[in-house]
Amino acid sequence: MSNMYLYGDNVNANGIRQHYLRYGGKGQPLILVPGITSPAITWEFVAERLGQYFDTYVLDVRGRGLSSSGPELDYDLDTCAQDILCFAKELGLKNYILAGHSMGARFGIRACAFDSTEIDKLVLIDPPVSGPGRREYPSKLNWYVDSIREANKGCNIETMRNYCPTWNDDQLRLRCEWLHTCYEDAIIKSFNDFHTDDIHQYLPQINVPSLLMVAGKGGVILEQDEAEIQELLPSIHISHVSNAGHMIPWDDLEGFFEALEDFLGQTI
């Protein structure tokens, strides 16, 4: 853990236990919501930088990490979006920045459409733009399921390298350690929802400054997608990290922070 790490804790919000990691503790609050198979700890290397400038909270989304999990829970878009709003309310966070990666960005869009009263800015990091009648998300479900099953058995970094060939040993080791906490049914539900939820319908309802960060090599957001998003939300800022795939900070950490800086008004 870095010097910016303060503690991990749990809070009961929206009827479940939500686990989070806190960094920095000073400045404007920032809530970071990771993607489909990324427990909070896997974003530690990003949060330690953010924590130098923002009071940073990284969530374990339900069904991941140390938050509530299991077959009795719902994992749909609306429920997970409400998790974010209830988490912030329970901790008394106001005027916060909401940043989400991939699935977390879709949850952020929905949460902001629900209630943006305390949201100051919205950061959407390469969100899937699939949905009814749209092209499929480029990753395949078996990639997630097979890797989770390997982690559940207990695997080493060489096994995980087959799934994430561009990651370094430290990143792979962390994924080996934590991927087993991703509840398979929750991941399947979230992946399928990428294709059945119409996230675009909520974009015109967003009334806070927003940033769309696009991975140049990810294949998730194409030029025509950017144009549609801009039409639906004309005020949105768009930045590109040209040398990164979908896992932007893993591929180009400095490029990731550069894409944030102008929008957040803070050199990071």
What percent of the chain has pLDDT above 70? 99
Give tens-digit pLDDT for 94-145: 999 999 999 999 999 999 999 999 999 999 999 999 999 999 999 999 999 9
CATH architecture of 5-135+197-264: 3-Layer(aba) Sandwich (3.40)
Radius of gyration of the chain (CA): 17
Own/partner pairs, 234-240, CB within 8 angstroms, 24+ separation: 235/209, 235/210, 236/210, 236/211, 236/212, 237/209, 237/210, 237/211, 237/212, 237/262, 237/263, 238/211, 238/212, 238/214, 239/211, 239/212, 239/213, 239/214, 239/263, 240/213, 240/214, 240/216
Give tens-digit pLDDT for 143-158: 999 999 999 999 999 9
In the predicted structure, residue 1 carries a pLDDT above the cut 70: no
pTM above 0.95, yes or no: yes
Give tens-digit pLDDT for 178-213: 999 999 999 999 999 999 999 999 999 999 999 999
According to the model, what pLDDT value does residue 2 have? 60
**CA-to-CA distance for 9 and 19, rounded, in angstroms?**
6
**Quick check: 37 and 53 in contact, CB under 8 A?**
no
